Structure 1
């Protein structure tokens, strides 16, 4: 088994797709650092935020009662009866309303890591699938089985190596974009809030888990479909039909999508909102808060990984390689 693993690593590092994926990861990391710098440069300064807040608060103090009366007068009674009780309330402005979640360096960096998550997942998926599919399309898989006829050790070694190779694009992204985001964000007036530094570092660390998971799934799909283009086509259909359409149109379906689970894993929990039908049957327009915790998401991803591994193994054992 050790001999197989060493040979697989040599073959994986020699593949052109490995170098290509790492180069694309490097280019994307540089692009995201530039985008982060531009975003921070265009953000309002603390003085501008304070000035906007004072203007809004002064306007509220002088006019909020008149605004509420005008709202009640212009809203039909039938709508007011079915609307929330605070339909025409104008709450006092707070400074946090103008700062938002991006008012700290940690909030801005969280946006950047969300972009890294998508790229890390795609790069690892493509790399894992390509390493296996290249063996089938070139015919080297048949030659490989001539020297090692036992398919289970061959499958296990290829999945293990491809899964570990999924760490490489993540390593490039984290090594370049991780400190790059920090420096770009620090170029403005933003600062870390309490605990945000450790949260940011932990988030970057969990991206390696995403790389291993997606590379394993890509490898399993490679054994099933045997062509990289077929794997990418399947991934695209899954993304559109399940992650986007199904997750947004079917009640509670978003909780069970892989994208939501990956976000919950990386961010140590995922929160999102849905809205009920407004003013029907007495329902109001207040959003319904949903939450997926870290451990449920991790457990779900582990189950998906095991199922994918077993499907790939069953396919490889039963199908003719030629």
Structure 2
């Protein structure tokens, strides 16, 4: 505990860490400014404009609707005869326009808060990674690690406290930042009368989501701090992160079955308590062509939690081994 208190003081003495923590609280405020424009009920002027456009489109439909459906069915049949395949152009979906099509979508609090916590969690993950990396990598850049080991030669204890300090701070900052956004989001939607239907189940789900974001920040800081010990340069850690993002983008595009094993998918599964991805499967159709189908595939929270915990444990373990055996200058 004594070593941990020292590391916490050293962490808060770094200006870049304070700036990153400040960013973790400023960004939710900026997001709430954008939400304020969304959390507004439809005004009388917007309703009148939508009704005018709706009346015009309805008149067109009444005049040409049957002709549009007939033309679609004829083209569909012609394509079916030309290709010999079962073609479905969704002609039954051609229906009369509805007023809701021309109105600005107004989400509820439950819909908006979960959608907005996704990008916020990604930002907090990045902040946690950088806080952990810059805290430990800077120790090697300044040579303070070698000096610190003259006071506390037990390297595993030093390593553990240098990882634990940023992890605890980032976990608290991430959870508070997410909770602050939730409180502001609810205030804006409640003021607009769009939060009245919020249920206990919704609040429970949002509360757990906030806690999981805090846990995500903890894992990110642990991983970043361990990588700082391995690479010994903050820029090196950032290079690894950017390089992985590029590789993941390429792999996702080339290997359709890869999403369950990518970090971004499992981060989403952690934050959302499970997620889905699209998987395209293609097979010969028996007529010389290829028939492809796209279906949803689920990634459970258990899978994502195990994946992220295992990944973090491996990085931390490798960092422990490297710090225990490598020379420190």
TM-score, structure 1 normalization: 0.85
1:318 counterpart residue number: 325
- SS of aligned partner of 1:126: helix
1:307 counterpart residue number: 314
Instruction: Could you tell me which runs of 5 or more consecutive residues in structure 1 were left unpaired when the two chains were aligned.
Output: none
- Is the alpha carbon distance of 1:201 and 1:90 closer, same or farther for their aligned partners in structure 2, counting shifts above 3 Å? same
1:147 counterpart residue number: 151
Deviations 1:243-300 (A, max 9, x none): x22223311111111111111111111123244569974525x531011111111111
- SS of aligned partner of 2:276: strand
Deviation at 1:68, TM superposition (A): 3.6
1:125 counterpart residue number: 129
Deviation at 1:64, TM superposition (A): 6.3
Contact in 1 for aligned 2:24/2:177 (Cα 8 Å): yes
Q: Which structure ranks higher in relative contact order (CA pairs < 8 Å, sequence separation ≥ 6)? A: 1
- Is the alpha carbon distance of 1:274 and 1:22 closer, same or farther for their aligned partners in structure 2, counting shifts above 3 Å? same
Structure 2 distance, partners of 1:164, 1:238, is 25
Q: Residue 254 in 1 paired to residue 259 in 2?
A: yes
2:174 counterpart residue number: 170
Larger Rg: 2
Q: How does 1:18-57 map to 2 (within 5 A)?
A: 18-41=17-40
Contact in 2 for aligned 1:22/1:168 (Cα 8 Å): no
Contact in 2 for aligned 1:67/1:90 (Cα 8 Å): no
2:165 counterpart residue number: 161
Deviations 1:164-194 (A, max 9, x none): 1222431441243221122223343533454
1:283 counterpart residue number: 291
Deviation at 1:305, TM superposition (A): 1.1
Structure 2 distance, partners of 1:255, 1:58, is 49
1:82 counterpart residue number: 85
1:221 counterpart residue number: 227
Instruction: Could you tell me which runs of 5 or more consecutive residues in structure 2 were left unpaired when the two chains were aligned.
Output: none
2:277 counterpart residue number: 272
Contact in 1 for aligned 2:61/2:96 (Cα 8 Å): yes
Structure 1 distance, partners of 2:206, 2:58, is 33
2:8 counterpart residue number: 9
- SS of aligned partner of 2:132: helix
Contact in 2 for aligned 1:151/1:316 (Cα 8 Å): yes
Structure 2 distance, partners of 1:43, 1:270, is 32
- SS of aligned partner of 1:149: coil
1:295 counterpart residue number: 302
Deviation at 1:199, TM superposition (A): 1.8
Structure 1 distance, partners of 2:284, 2:277, is 22
Contact in 2 for aligned 1:220/1:308 (Cα 8 Å): yes
Deviation at 1:302, TM superposition (A): 1.0
Deviations 1:15-36 (A, max 9, x none): 2222111111122121111011
**Alignment RMSD, CA only?**
3.4
